[in-house]
Amino acid sequence: RARARTEALLHTLKRSRRVKANDRERNRMHHLNAALDELRSVLPTFPDDTKLTKIETLRFAYNYIWALSETLRLA
């Protein structure tokens, strides 16, 4: 009987840990998506209603920063 109680407690503990891990991951993704949305808002896109994917946003930001740096360097 003690073993059944221990197994039930272990199952409850595992489930609780999984729920917390899922919550942390959900929050992490919300923060990442919010940061990418903010980055998209300052990047020039054509047309304006086009939403870049995550990787496109990062690549475009990198290239945009490089181009601005080159412009400053050559000016």
pTM: predicted TM-score of the whole model, two decimal places: 0.77
Pairwise CA distance, residues 23 & 63, whole Å: 34
Indicate the fold that domain 1-74 takes in CATH: MYOD Basic-Helix-Loop-Helix Domain, subunit B (4.10.280)
The length of the chain, given as a count of residues = 75
CA-to-CA dists, residue 72 to 38, 39, 44, 45, angstroms? 24, 21, 18, 21
Q: Are 64 and 43 in contact (CB under 8 A)?
A: yes
Q: Could you read off the pLDDT tens digit of each residue along the chain, which spans 75 residues?
A: 678 889 999 999 999 999 999 999 999 999 999 999 999 999 998 777 788 999 999 999 999 999 999 999 999
Domain-wise residue ranges, the chain = 1-74
Pairwise CA distance, residues 11 & 23, whole Å: 18
